[in-house]
Structure 1
Amino acid sequence: MTDTISRRTGGRAARRASRAAPLSDAMRPIRPGMSGGAYQPLTPQDVERIHRTALTALEEIGLADAPESGIAHLTRAGAILGTDGRLRFPRALVEDTIAKANREITLFGRDPRHDMELSGTRVHYGTAGAAVHMVDVDGRNYRECTVQDLHDAARIADVLDNIHFVQRPMVCRDIPDNYEMDMNTVYACCAGTTKHVGTSFTEPGFVKGALEMLHMIAGGEDKWRERPFVSNSNCFVVPPMKFATEACQVMEACIEGGMPVLLLSAGMAGATAPSTIAGAIAQATAECLAGLVYVNAVSPGHPAIFGTWPFGLDLRTGAMTGGSGEQALLSAGCAQMHRFYGLPGGAVGGITDAKLPDMQAGWEAMCSNVMAGLSGLNMVYEAAGMHASLLGFCHESLILGDDLIGHALRCVRGIEVDDETLGLDQMREVCLGGPGHYLGTGQTLARMQTDYQYPALGNRMSPKQWDESGKPDLMAETIERKEEILAERSAARFDAATDAAIRETFTIHLPA
Structure 2
Amino acid sequence: MTRPIRTGGRAARHAARAAPLPDASRPVRPGLTGGRYKPLTEADVTRIHETALTALEEIGLSGAPPSGVASMTAAGAVQSDDGRLRFPRALVEDMLACAARDITLHARDPAFDLDLSGARVHFGTAGAAVSVVDAVTGDYRDSTLADLHEAARLADALDNIHFLQRPMVARDMTDDQTLDLNTLHACLTGTRKHVGTSFCTAATVPKCLDYLYAVAGGEDAFRARPFVLNSNCFVVPPMRFATESCEVMEACIRGGLPVLLLSAGQAGATAPATLAGAVMQAVAECLAGVVYVNSIAPGHPAIFGTWPFVSDLRTGAMSGGSGEQAVLTAACAQMGRFYGLPGGAAAGMADAKLPDMQAGWEQGMSDVMAGLAGLNMVYEAAGMHGSLMGFCPESLILGDDMIGAALRCVRGVEVTDETLALEAMRAVCLEGPGHYLGTESTLSVMQSEYVYPTLGCRISPKEWQEAGRPDLIAKARVRRAEIMAGPNIAAFAPELERSLRARFDLLV
Fold shared, TM-score > 0.5 on shorter chain: yes
Match of 2:419 in 1: 421
Note if 1:389 corresponds to 2:387.
yes
Matched, 1:358 2:356: yes
Residues paired across the two proteins, number: 504
Q: Which residue of structure 1 aligns with residue 266 of structure 2?
A: 268
Counterpart of 1:485 in structure 2 is: 483
- 1:198 corresponds to: 196
- The amino acid across from 1:188 in the alignment is A
SS at match of 2:500: helix
SS in 2 for 1:84: coil
Residue 187 of structure 1 aligns with an amino acid whose one-letter code is H
| 2:94 paired residue among 82, 85, 96 | 96
Secondary structure, aligned partner of 2:97: helix
Query: d(CA) in 2 for partners of 1:432 and 1:499?
Result: 66
Query: C-alpha separation between the residues in 2 aligned to 1:9 and 1:471?
Result: 39
**Residues 278-314 of structure 1 deviation map (CA, whole Å, 9 limit, x = unaligned):** 0000000000000000000000000000000000100
Query: CA–CA distance in 2 between the matches of 1:250 and 1:429?
Result: 65
More divergent stretch after superposition (175-184 vs 187-196): 175-184
Aligned to 1:84: 82
Matches within 5 A, 1:328-477: 328-477=326-475
Distance 1:299 1:352 in 2: 37
Match of 1:251 in 2: 249
Which is further off, 427-436 or 399-408? 427-436
Residues 69-107 of structure 1, C-alpha deviation per residue, up to 9 Å, x if partnerless? 000000000000000000000000101111221111100
**1:183 counterpart = 2:184:** no
1:384-410 Cα offsets, whole Å, 9 max, x none, are 100001000000000000000000000
Identity of aligned residues (%): 67
2:14 matches 1:16: yes
SS at match of 1:432: helix
Mapped partners of 2:436, 2:487: distance in 1: 45
The SS at the match of 2:164 is strand
Aligned partner of 2:161 in structure 1 is 163
Task: Look up the SS of the partner of 1:313 in the other structure.
Answer: strand
**8 A Cα contact 2:136 2:473, kept in partner:** no
Question: What CA distance in whole angstroms lies between the structure 2 residues aligned with 1:257 and 1:489?
Answer: 33
Output the CA distance in 1 between the equivalents of 2:13 and 2:179: 51
Query: Which residues of structure 2 form unaligned runs of 5+?
Result: none
Q: Which amino acid aligns with 1:47?
A: V
Aligned to 1:502: 500
Counterpart contact for 2:145–2:171, Cα < 8 Å: yes
Q: Which amino acid letter does the alignment assign opposite residue 131 of structure 2?
A: H
**2: CA distance between counterparts of 1:273 and 1:113?**
39
- Amino acid in structure 1 at the alignment position of 2:426: R
Give the counterpart of 2:320 among 308, 319, 322.
322
For 1:140 and 1:331, how far apart are their aligned partners in 2? 29
CA–CA distance in 2 between the matches of 1:19 and 1:479? 28
Q: CA contact under 8 A between 2:126 and 2:380: conserved in structure 1?
A: yes
Return the alpha-carbon distance in structure 2 between the equivalents of residues 122 and 9 of structure 1: 39
**Greater shift after overlay, 42-51 or 426-435?**
426-435
| 1:34 and 2:26 are equivalent in the alignment | no
Q: Could you report, residue by residue, the CA deviation over 1:421-453 in whole angstroms, capped at 9, with x for unpaired residues?
A: 122222211111321001122211111100000
Tell me: CA distance 1:8–1:93, structure 2 relative to 1, closer, same or farther (3 Å): closer
| 2:124/2:164 contact within 8 Å kept | yes
Q: Please report how far the alpha carbon of residue 176 of structure 1 lies from its aligned counterpart in structure 2 after TM superposition.
A: 2.3
2:371 aligned counterpart, secondary structure: helix
Say which SS state the counterpart of residue 46 (structure 1) adopts.
Answer: helix
Which residue is 1:112 aligned to? 110
Give 1:51-66 correspondences, 5 Å limit. Answer: 51-66=49-64
Q: Deviations over 1:350-394 (max 9, x none)?
A: 000000010100000000000000000000000010000100000
Q: Could you tell me which of 144, 151, 156 is aligned with 2:149? A: 151
Deviations 1:146-171 (CA, angstroms, capped at 9, x unpaired): 00000000000001000000000000
Deviation at 1:472, TM superposition (A): 1.4
Offset of 1:496 from its aligned partner?
Answer: 1.5
1:10 shift after superposition: 6.5
Aligned partner of residue 332 in structure 1, secondary structure: helix
The one-letter amino acid paired with 1:264 is L
Q: SS at 1:329's partner residue?
A: helix
Asked if 1 retains the 8 angstrom alpha-carbon contact of 2:61 and 2:84, the reply is yes
- Bigger Cα displacement from structure 2, 412-421 vs 342-351: 412-421
Distance 1:213 1:22 in 2: 36
Q: Secondary structure at the match of 1:262?
A: strand
2-side partners of 1:266 and 1:470: how far apart?
A: 45
Partner of 1:3: none
For 1:147 and 1:108, the matched residues in 2 are separated by: 24
SS state of the match for residue 233, structure 1?
strand
Cα distance in 2 for partners of 1:159, 1:269 equals 36
Note the C-alpha offset of 1:138. 2.4
Measured after TM superposition, the shift of residue 9 of structure 1 is 11
Q: Is the 8 A contact 2:125 2:379 kept in 1?
A: yes
Q: Deviations over 1:210-240 (max 9, x none)?
A: 1111111111111111100000000000000
Q: Which residue of 2 aligns with 1:173?
A: 171
Q: Which amino acid aligns with 1:262?
A: L
Provide the rounded CA distance (Å) in 1 between the counterparts of 2:226 and 2:6.
Answer: 53
2:492 counterpart SS class: coil
**Deviation larger for 498-507 or 347-356:** 498-507
RMSD, matched Cα? 1.1
Partner of 1:4: none
Amino acid at match of 2:387: S
Please give the alpha-carbon distance, in whole angstroms, between the structure 1 residues aligned to 2:493 and 2:27: 35
Q: Does the Cα contact within 8 Å between 2:123 and 2:377 map onto a contact in 1?
A: yes
377-386 vs 435-444, which moves further: 435-444
Aligned counterparts of 1:346 and 1:147: Cα–Cα separation in 2:
26
Q: Deviations over 1:224-279 (max 9, x none)?
A: 11100000000000000000001001000000001000000000000000001100
Q: Tell me the amino acid that sits aligned with residue 475 of structure 1.
A: I
C-alpha deviation, 1:419, in angstroms: 1.6
Counterpart for residue 294 of structure 2: 296
Please give the secondary structure, in 1, of the residue aligned with 2:248: helix
Q: 413-422 or 111-120, which moves further after superposition?
A: 413-422
Tell me by how many angstroms 1:8 deviates.
9.0
Partner SS, residue 307 of structure 1: strand
